[in-house]
């Protein structure tokens, strides 16, 4: 349809000073968006057209698969969140109603969709069930960022699927990956997007993945090797560098130390040794009040996701937390003076990070104040099991190819597929009758997210050039930009616009006629907004019987219309 313009919001002379991120500044300055408050943006007409084009690509590909679009509510009853134990989560909004009623404006919709499915899944015939919706989501962020990621209000495409069992889902899985791949291909991101394994916090699985687009400024780090191994840093593994493994093992000795040396810098200085030769032990408390400790090289850190994946199996899915000073007191020790030496009397299960095997003759605290040990080796320790607990560093090598350095790249998550097991379906009591008319109360649930508004930011960053954002043609706000030089030509320009629209092209007609809205400004805005095709309607072009058509990124062409 022809925007009989009164032209939409014009570009700004300077970028509003609300973001230190360049792509956001461009989005603001070219009037694609406006910041409503920290972490919340309004889409102005030009930006909303881009947003809608992105949304439409996602919708078409979801529909082309087997997903049915629906629309769930934003306001949800407190009871839903109490069922799954998520009511008290601090960064989800609570909304008071009348007479003590409380609601939540949804940050995510697992609860909603389970409440619906509880009614609509009755029989094996109703499975699998696949739905999605595209809707605003809300987070009560403590520190909403002005630029990129931590938003109070944003749009998600969230899809959910329900399956009788994991095998049923497996038939779908490759299809789902294809859908996502197609979406990022159509949006021009696929060349720099990878699928990283995402074994989530509480659940580990081969059916959870994140789609990550490489972007230098972004905060996630992707760890890759040339075999296709691709993990988020939080979940990646690598081979730590061997240190003094050639050295001969010496006998352990106790030495007196000054009690005040309680940090690594002072310790390395005191012993005149590098940090990797120091060791540390971190003590955790399980919900059963049993304690365990992890010993690791001091230059490495413990990855708590890996830790959880190990501990849940050992201690029957018990949760755990760092031991407090008071806990250590009960154990008869204090922080900094804990070690799994064989003569230790501590009632603690000790596990060791694999990196301990890369160093010989460690320095270590004894289990007493002002006492240290030197020349500690594995034979001096009572460690019941070694495991990969560490977060890889850039000097680690691949586990798959000897000597190959891991590649670390900054990236932004653009989509994900998570296996939720029965975490949400169970509290909502979704069950069904199977072929034998028996009730089955176990439903496997997956969720699939794409942050639509976030994707627009990722694309802005990805397609940003020195001056503007070179949107892919299928996402650009309009197909054609018609510049009218003089009022007499508005009628003619309108005819051209109508012709183009009858061919399903979208057209913006720049009919600004006030003083100073001269050609340069119009051509400039056309370029800033990255409208692929430009037509100039003027006395000059009329004289010659043709209109000028220019592809912004190609040579000028002259066409007869």
| Binding-site ranges for a copy of itself (CB under 8 A) | 1-6, 8-10, 31, 34, 36-37, 40-45, 48-49, 51, 60, 63-66, 68-77, 93-99, 105, 112, 115-116, 119-120, 124-126, 128-131, 133, 136, 138, 140-142, 152-153, 512, 514, 517
Task: Provide the strand spans (E) within 153-278.
Answer: 153-163, 193-197, 209-214, 220-224, 230-232, 253-256
Query: Minimum distance between the CB of residue 466 and a copy of itself, rounded to whole angstroms?
Result: 26
- Give me the least distance between CB of 59 and a copy of itself, in Å please: 9
Considering the complex, what minimum distance in angstroms separates the CB of residue 435 from a copy of itself? 9
Q: Report the nearest approach of a copy of itself to the CB of residue 52 (Å).
A: 8
Which residue, 170 or 269, has its beta carbon nearer to a copy of itself? 170
Min CB(305)–a copy of itself separation in Å: 27
Give the residue with the Cβ less far from a copy of itself, 30 or 308. Answer: 30
Q: Which of 149, 406 has the CB closer to a copy of itself?
A: 149
Least Cβ distance, residue 24 to a copy of itself (angstroms): 16
112 vs 492: CA distance, rounded Å:
53
In angstroms, what is the minimal distance from the CB of 530 to a copy of itself?
18
Radius of gyration of the chain (CA): 30
**How near is the Cβ of 516 to a copy of itself at its closest, in Å?**
9
Nearer to a copy of itself, 133 or 285 (CB): 133
Half-sphere exposure of residue 223: CA atoms within 13 angstroms, side-chain side: 24
Q: Which is nearer to a copy of itself, 101 or 561 (CB)?
A: 101
CA distance 372 to 254: 6
Nearer to a copy of itself, 173 or 310 (CB): 173
CB of 45 to a copy of itself, least distance (A): 4
CA 22 to chain centre: 20
End-to-end distance of the chain based on CA atoms, in angstroms? 19
Q: 135 and 156 in contact (C-beta within 8 Å)?
A: yes
Cα 34 from Cα 24, distance rounded (Å): 10
Report the residue number, 131 or 526, with the smaller CB distance to a copy of itself. 131
Cβ neighbourhood burial of 375 (10 Å; 0-12, 13-18, 19+) = middle
Cα separation, 127 vs 245, whole angstroms: 57
Name the residue nearer to a copy of itself (CB basis): 92 or 387. Answer: 92
324: left (phi over 0), alpha (psi -120 to 50) or beta: beta
Looking at the Cβ atoms of 128 and 354, the one nearer to a copy of itself is 128
Q: Which own/partner contact pairs does 470-476 have at CB distance under 8 Å and 24+ positions apart?
A: 470/530, 470/553, 471/50, 471/530, 472/187, 472/188, 473/532, 474/53, 474/57, 474/186, 475/50, 475/53, 475/54, 475/57, 475/187, 475/188, 476/50, 476/53, 476/529, 476/530, 476/531, 476/532
CA dihedral for 354, 355, 361, 364, sign (positive or negative)? negative
């Amino acid at each position: 349809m022809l925007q009989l313009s009164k032209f939409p919001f014009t570009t700004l002379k300077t970028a509003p000073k609300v973001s230190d991120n360049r792509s956001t500044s461009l989005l603001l300055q070219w009037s694609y968006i406006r910041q409503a408050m920290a972490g919340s943006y309004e889409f102005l007409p030009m930006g909303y057209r881009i947003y809608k084009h992105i949304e439409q690509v996602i919708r078409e590909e979801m529909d082309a698969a087997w997903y049915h679009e629906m629309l769930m509510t934003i306001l949800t009853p407190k009871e839903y969140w109490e069922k799954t134990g998520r009511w008290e989560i601090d960064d989800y909004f609570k909304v008071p109603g009348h007479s003590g009623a409380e609601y939540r404006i949804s940050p995510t919709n697992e609860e909603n969709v389970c409440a619906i499915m509880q009614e609509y899944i009755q029989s094996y015939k109703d499975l699998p069930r696949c739905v999605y919706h595209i809707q605003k989501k809300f987070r009560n962020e403590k520190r909403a960022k002005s630029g990129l990621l931590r938003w109070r209000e944003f749009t998600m495409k969230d899809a959910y699927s329900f399956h009788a069992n994991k095998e049923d889902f497996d038939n779908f899985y490759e299809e789902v990956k294809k859908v996502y791949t197609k979406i990022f291909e159509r949006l021009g991101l696929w060349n720099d997007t990878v699928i990283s394994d995402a074994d989530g916090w509480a659940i580990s699985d081969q059916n959870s993945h994140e789609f990550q687009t490489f972007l230098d400024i972004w905060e996630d780090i992707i760890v890759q090797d040339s075999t296709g191994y691709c993990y988020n840093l939080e979940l990646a593994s690598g081979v730590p560098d061997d240190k003094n493994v050639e050295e001969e093992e010496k006998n352990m000795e106790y030495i007196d130390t000054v009690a005040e040396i309680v940090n690594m810098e002072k310790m390395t200085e005191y012993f005149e040794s590098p940090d990797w030769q120091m060791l540390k032990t971190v003590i955790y408390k399980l919900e059963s009040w049993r304690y365990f400790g992890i010993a690791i090289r001091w230059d490495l850190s413990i990855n708590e996701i890996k830790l959880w994946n190990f501990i849940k199996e050992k201690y029957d899915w018990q949760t755990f937390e760092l031991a407090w000073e008071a806990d250590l007191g009960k154990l008869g020790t204090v922080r900094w003076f804990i070690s799994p030496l064989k003569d230790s009397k501590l009632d603690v299960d000790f596990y060791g990070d694999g990196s301990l095997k890369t160093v010989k003759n460690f320095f270590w605290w004894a289990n007493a104040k002002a006492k240290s040990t030197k020349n500690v080796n594995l034979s001096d320790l009572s460690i019941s099991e070694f495991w990969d607990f560490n977060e890889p560093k850039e000097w680690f090598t691949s586990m798959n190819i000897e000597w190959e350095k891991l590649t670390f790249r900054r990236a932004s998550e653009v989509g994900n597929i998570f296996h939720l097991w029965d975490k949400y379906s169970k509290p909502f009591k979704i069950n069904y009758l199977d072929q034998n008319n028996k009730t089955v109360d176990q439903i496997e649930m997956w969720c699939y997210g794409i942050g639509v508004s976030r994707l627009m930011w990722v694309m802005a960053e990805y397609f940003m050039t020195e001056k503007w954002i070179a949107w892919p043609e299928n996402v650009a706000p309009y197909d054609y930009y018609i510049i009218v030089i003089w009022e007499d030509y508005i009628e003619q320009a309108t005819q051209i616009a109508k012709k183009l629209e009858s061919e399903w092209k979208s057209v913006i007609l720049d009919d600004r006629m006030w003083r100073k809205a001269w050609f340069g400004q119009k051509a400039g805005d056309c370029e800033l907004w990255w409208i692929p095709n430009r037509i100039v309607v003027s006395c000059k072009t009329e004289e010659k019987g043709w209109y000028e058509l220019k592809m912004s990124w190609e040579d000028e062409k002259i066409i007869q219309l």
